[in-house]
Amino acid sequence: MYEKTTTRQEDTVSRGVAVLGAGLALVVGFFLGFTLHGMLTSSPTPVVENAANQANAPANTTMSDGMAERIQAVERKVQLEPANADAWTELGNLYYDSKQPKKAIAAYGRSLTLKPGNPNVLTDQGVMYRQLGDFDRALDCFNKAIAINPAHIIAQFNKSVVLEHDKHDKAGALAALRDLAARNPNAILPGGTTVAQAIQELSAR
């Protein structure tokens, strides 16, 4: 599972948190969460083109009427305000929450183009890449977020999870957690586990 970041809570965790071990799950995108996700189906921007290639039938069949309406509202907003980075982030978040990773990635990319360097947006974009199985791009997003904010709990945690579970790099996963512990020794990971406990548990596996 993953937890999500939020532009409203820059100093906390991101939307998704990668599962560290048997009991944890990457949940970026739900812990803090961006607000709205959606992409314009009629917009000529690259984001819309990428969204058109998204195989999103499963998400559409389960999407609530309320979510669909929110997406449409923010789609209209970015159509009217294409330079509004926060609106694109909202779109990315709605796509995140409605399980449309390709659209979310595109919307987050648009937001980062307009307003570079947001570690929360980068972290949530990384979670979406991970859902698509693009682990290297996921790690790239997490690393960029960490370069901006080395004590970013979720970016560091998600990095450790992808390294351990997807890249089978236990040493790299431990290094990520230890780096977080060195910068933020009191860090509490999703589920209430301390970073010290996570290091101990991973070391024992």
Q: Give the CATH number, domain containing residue 110.
A: 1.25.40.10
**Counted domains in the chain:** 1
| Per-residue pLDDT, 3 | 52
Contact 86, 102 (CB under 8 A): no
Task: Give the residue among 111, 190, 127 at the shortest CA–CA distance from 153.
Answer: 190
36 lies in some domain: no
Per-residue buried b or exposed e for 39-65, using 16+ beta carbons within 10 Å of the residue's own CB: bbeebebebbebbeebebeebeeebee
Task: Give the residue among 78, 135, 127 at the shortest CA–CA distance from 107.
Answer: 78
Identity of the residue numbered 39: M
Phi, psi of 23 (to 5 degrees): -95, -5
Output the pTM of the full model.
Answer: 0.74
20 lies in some domain: no
Low-confidence ranges of the chain (pLDDT < 70): 1-62
28 lies in some domain: no
| Per-residue pLDDT, 204 | 94
99 lies in some domain: yes
3-state class of 53 per DSSP?
A: coil
Q: What is the extent of the structural domain holding 185? A: 46-204
CA distances to 1, 86, 152, 156, 179 from 147, rounded to whole Å, are: 24, 22, 9, 10, 12
| Per-residue pLDDT, 74 | 97
128 lies in some domain: yes
Q: Which pair of tokens denotes residue 80?
A: 């009217």
181 lies in some domain: yes
79 lies in some domain: yes
18 lies in some domain: no
Tell me the per-residue pLDDT of 47-100, one tens digit each, with 9 for 90 and over.
322 322 333 333 444 688 899 999 999 999 999 999 999 999 999 999 999 999
Helix (H) or strand (E) holding 73: helix 65-80
| Per-residue pLDDT, 65 | 87
Identity of the residue numbered 120: N
